[in-house]
Structure 1
């Protein structure tokens, strides 16, 4: 059951990258050419917005909001996990509900859509287990709003598109060593280039090893990541690529369920920032392995055809401990009343994906128009096994967690609890229509068929769903620098979340309307956008509680949900690019209003106002000395403590990260990153009713060799 909400997330390292090698080669250029921004698409030959429509469009030509976080920013700010990357993404909220389960929201809704190089990864949820490492990726695109064309199913929130590193035509190599707070150290390397003189055979080897303790009691994580890719030009027009990647995440002393937050009288429980409900004997290991093959064929003119086959295997092995405040919460005088549940889990998720995709342009009515269409099919097989502890676990005075030592419980034999089989088929297509010199249109449609069989903790998991989702957009060039746009799409989400009965919820149905203005200046080096949007979903899964063995048909510690209609309205503004040759700027603001079908405020754990701003400034004359900062702000949020339903709040807060770096030698640079400089103390997320505190001030130093 640990994989149920989102086991497919780790399949993101499954598919091959389709981006141009220019994204890798750009890293060897001078500092003023390093950053690949949204406004430099044509120069860098990067198809930034294919992730939204499948069409070869610039961001200004795409009638949706799209953000890009490239390799340079990842390296500048030492962003070794995808959660750290998305912390800097405009309009995205990272919910660290536990140490090893994270999810994301955008425009008020859960982000369940994933892509690899613009190809939708089917049959997945929105929860990330462990950390997803960044070493395998060249950059990350975030497409806000619904994205029915390229993913087929999901919420009108956002789509995260991971663009993989690929073998390069020219030899390149880099290696980095990190060291930082909480006994963190990391080594990573990346070697790429041709294997023959003609450059028709190319390979890339990528690897990383990271170990870190934590500010949290008992917590420690080891992570090994590796990838190998081989590309062969079978003919000048036909290229085959194959690869393998793995990510082995081993966590000890991991939090499961997090801290009960309030006493029975509604007052907050006073915890240290290091407080944890875990014990040294808890662990959670996730081994993710993927093999893939791809054929890319230039058909003539600008038409291309790609076929991708992927096999993904995710194994999870865990011994976890969940703390519950009971029906009323712990006593405010004695601190007594928190009880624990422990279990062993052995889960496995296997996925098979096939995708065929064609794109190109046609001449009609005296103008050139672009087309893209494809078909995909995915199969997923999930098995969950569990063995519950028979011992009664008493946390005693919850205020004394640091001194608590719970003996290792006795567990029942591990038995299979769930076996689920999914099959999803999609047909999709899109067109970019050139109506006039200043007027363009984008239209598309996707059709899905989903069948599920199996059982989930005694409940029948069978379902059979189908849907058709349209997409339509218009763009009008006001001036040489400004474009007005509007778009509409609906989207369909066969949800993986279950009700308290153990049965899956009915599919959620959503619509998304967006309108705004986009612009670029300084020869395309600076890009900005502002948008208003309205997203609505019916039957949306909303967290309703946690199984504790007495309140439903599901695994202890697992979550159950109820369906709700939610409407989101808001505005966003973003800027990205080079203000000068030395000054890079990226960031934006989001304002939201979320209401349920009765008009009441909904999903109160989602901040209504957020600000994210990143800037770097480089002085080439001083050994390429670089300084930078990342500022993040969010307004207050509210939730209900899972034990007693009493309201809890996290006030608004802002965090500041700083960086400084320079070149020590022609191929060697050093940098230092300081995070949460002002040492703000805040809870990570109130989504699940229980929470733990975010990290205090910390630092990491990096030495990087590049050739």
Structure 2
């Protein structure tokens, strides 16, 4: 069973030096309270201060609620009943007396069934809202497809990285590249990844961040320029890191798996000092293996992240640092032979054992929420990231020839990046009768300076036979030539949320300006600017307590990074999406289901035209599709997460270009917790992932067949101890990933059958 996770908590203790136990008289004896009118979160903090009682709540659950104030003599229960009456919220106490405020079981969406200490949450429901939207609008009232995979799901599935978690979301494809890294595709377009709502470095590998460091993985579908500025037409993934919590919680995990993989993880959080305002969190993750399925050198990884948080009546400030050192070996792969992936044996490794990606990354992040009176809140967050990366190895440059030979060449690149990101905004909430208005006014800025290394000369080709021992190959690391890049995108935005009864209107407008220069040391710096306006609008109607209907129109852009043969910067790449869907809340709000249809247009696609001897800008993609996502619990003991998507992409210009994505994808994961006394503490899970046929070219000469992966998990929990065994690809099927750009000479292989055993102790 999974551990307690409280995504973002509000807490206040009235008495400096108050211990973490709570007197019963404060709950049963009447006393005088003076709670001012204003936001509900301020009222709860005032209640905590005046009663001396620990009150814990998720800000996203109460941010859009207010109170007229309460004055008089009440017991604590009477006061909380008055404050929460008609708000769609309820409160409960844990086994130590702390009070948890959350969405009520009668509200339109349940929060996870969470205890502060003792029993662990087993909910497969995501959090009620996402901080990425800035307005605090609940997910079921947001006229856009947004998926949230919380830490409970990741832990129950044994997810090790972000990539593992994303298989639960429709329209999302993780595409491995040759040298250990991976890219992301959403709704047919390469997507970008945010960390805490700000952009990540292009040299970093955010999909490999360990799952233990994350509270949730959010997938925002569509070209959301209003939220993220420059971004993919298909969508964006945002990583929500864990933050310090006031309630002490500690976990140590040891893991062992296939390829002699050893793993040590630790997560510790709690209060510092005695006034209940300052808390800490320390997360550690280490991993090492002796090799991988392709017989390359093993994976080595070290992740360390300490953080501090100050939380009082009006201020929530978090400061976090993370350090990552990682060596990721070259991935196992195969090549095409007669239009199909070659199923026979290739030399292992098909290169040198040292072929790998090596990365060192430091990240500093802060976030601040400061109440400015009754209606307004100032929010500021920023990140500084420096990354050093090198990747090198041998790869094939041809499909398998009839005589059993392939062409091999070496590849190497790397670089260093320094990136600053800053996002500041004001959020104001007003209510006039049934009408509630939430306004956001903000500015964002970013600066990235990097140098990029690549091979100074192309290495010679080597023709090798797969039937003979591989000849000795020189190291792929060689002399580099360096280029330098710098970009400075800035933007200003306005967001507006209007709620009137069952109607919910969302709109926004963003102005973006970007500066981008590419130069060599011996050349003069060249810079040009581009400006673009990006509007968005969406409307949602709550037709019944369990069904909402929505539609939205979103705009996006990507700043240009290519010049034509005359040296002029190409136009910015623009996109627009029309989406409509239904959101269901079923089985007494235990199960959420979302269906959506969409159409995305992407213009000003840049590609190299040999006839023009330079890059040209042409009409780009048109993609359309249908998606279903389901997440929650069928019964008290049976959890369910699944999806299906049907996506079709059409490229307007280059007939030879193919996205190489399957049109049909689906997954289903379910976990059952046994209640029979003889099996108490046991749970079992099964996961199925279906991938339809994909073609690497439009003429369908190269085909990746449909496939089904089966995973199985068994867990036993007793008190603070748990033991989990997970088998991935249980039937040892040949599983292939789609290749980037439809290359027939590189078909990534997913892992053969592998096992993972994890023992955990929580206290």
Query: TM class by shorter-chain length?
Result: 0.7 to 0.9
Change beyond 3 A, Cα 1:477–1:356: same
Q: Does 1:109 align with 2:189?
A: yes
Determine if contact 1:461/1:503 at 8 Å carries over to the other structure: no
Superposition TM-score, scaled by structure 2 size: 0.78
1:613 aligned residue (657, 663, 668): 668
Q: Structure 2: how far apart are the matches of 1:273 and 1:132?
A: 31
Superposition TM-score, scaled by structure 1 size: 0.84
Change beyond 3 A, Cα 1:268–1:96: closer
Q: Does 1:58 align with 2:111?
A: no
Q: Structure 1: how far apart are the matches of 2:608 and 2:707?
A: 24
1:85 aligns to what SS in structure 2? helix
Determine if contact 1:104/1:126 at 8 Å carries over to the other structure: no
Q: Structure 1: how far apart are the matches of 2:340 and 2:685?
A: 40
Q: CA deviation at 1:106?
A: 1.7
Aligned to 1:349: 417
- Residue segments in structure 2 that go unaligned for 5+ positions in a row: 1-6, 11-55, 59-111
Q: Structure 2: how far apart are the matches of 1:170 and 1:647?
A: 59
2:309 aligns to what SS in structure 1? strand
C-alpha distance after superposition, 1:646-671 (max 9, x if no partner): 932101111111111011x3100011
2:227 aligns to what SS in structure 1? helix
- Residue segments in structure 1 that go unaligned for 5+ positions in a row: 1-16, 42-46, 546-550, 554-559
Determine if contact 1:259/1:276 at 8 Å carries over to the other structure: no
Aligned to 1:676: 729
Q: CA deviation at 1:131?
A: 2.4
2:472 aligned residue (406, 416, 424): 406
* Bigger radius of gyration among the two: 2
Aligned to 2:686: 629
Q: How many correspondences in the alignment? A: 651
Q: Does 1:226 align with 2:283?
A: no
Determine if contact 1:359/1:373 at 8 Å carries over to the other structure: yes
Change beyond 3 A, Cα 1:275–1:372: farther
Q: Structure 2: how far apart are the matches of 1:390 and 1:156?
A: 34
Change beyond 3 A, Cα 1:246–1:662: same
Change beyond 3 A, Cα 1:138–1:404: same
Change beyond 3 A, Cα 1:629–1:29: farther
Q: CA deviation at 1:129?
A: 7.2
Q: CA deviation at 1:161?
A: 1.5
Determine if contact 1:475/1:485 at 8 Å carries over to the other structure: yes
2:574 aligns to what SS in structure 1? strand
Change beyond 3 A, Cα 1:76–1:601: farther
Q: Does 1:120 align with 2:198?
A: yes
Q: CA deviation at 1:503?
A: 9.5
1:446 aligns to what SS in structure 2? strand
Q: CA deviation at 1:94?
A: 1.2
Q: Structure 1: how far apart are the matches of 2:670 and 2:117?
A: 20
Q: Which has the higher contact order (CA 8 A, sep 6+)?
A: 1
Change beyond 3 A, Cα 1:330–1:105: closer
2:510 aligned residue (441, 446, 451): 446
Aligned to 2:125: 37
C-alpha distance after superposition, 1:26-54 (max 9, x if no partner): 4756768432614x62xxxxx33x42x32
Q: Structure 2: how far apart are the matches of 1:697 and 1:542?
A: 39
Q: Does 1:580 align with 2:601?
A: no
Determine if contact 2:692/2:706 at 8 Å carries over to the other structure: yes
Aligned to 2:758: 702
* Structure-to-structure mapping, 1:109-258, within 5 angstroms: 109-112=189-192, 114-117=193-196, 119-121=197-199, 128=205, 131-212=208-289, 213-233=291-311, 236-252=313-329, 254-255=330-331
Q: Does 1:686 align with 2:739?
A: yes
Q: Structure 2: how far apart are the matches of 1:267 and 1:599?
A: 23
Q: Structure 2: how far apart are the matches of 1:461 and 1:362?
A: 47
C-alpha distance after superposition, 1:547-601 (max 9, x if no partner): xxxx999xxxxxx998552111111112111111111111121112222337979
Q: CA deviation at 1:461?
A: 7.2
Determine if contact 2:410/2:476 at 8 Å carries over to the other structure: no
Aligned to 1:261: 336
Aligned to 1:44: none
Q: Structure 1: how far apart are the matches of 2:347 and 2:154?
A: 27
Change beyond 3 A, Cα 1:146–1:457: farther
* Structure-to-structure mapping, 1:336-375, within 5 angstroms: 336=405, 338-343=407-412, 345-364=413-432, 367-375=435-443
Determine if contact 1:422/1:450 at 8 Å carries over to the other structure: yes
2:620 aligns to what SS in structure 1? strand
* Structure-to-structure mapping, 1:278-427, within 5 angstroms: 278-301=351-374, 303-325=376-398, 331-333=401-403, 335-336=404-405, 338-343=407-412, 345-364=413-432, 367-388=435-456, 392-400=460-468, 403-409=469-475, 413-416=479-482, 418-427=483-492
Task: Tell me the C-alpha RMSD between the 2 structures.
Answer: 3.4
Determine if contact 2:220/2:236 at 8 Å carries over to the other structure: yes
Aligned to 1:87: 167
Aligned to 1:10: none
Q: CA deviation at 1:261?
A: 2.6
1:84 aligns to what SS in structure 2? helix
2:578 aligned residue (489, 513, 524): 513
Change beyond 3 A, Cα 1:457–1:535: farther
Q: CA deviation at 1:330?
A: 5.6
Q: Structure 2: how far apart are the matches of 1:597 and 1:591?
A: 20
Q: CA deviation at 1:271?
A: 3.9
Q: Structure 2: how far apart are the matches of 1:285 and 1:657?
A: 30
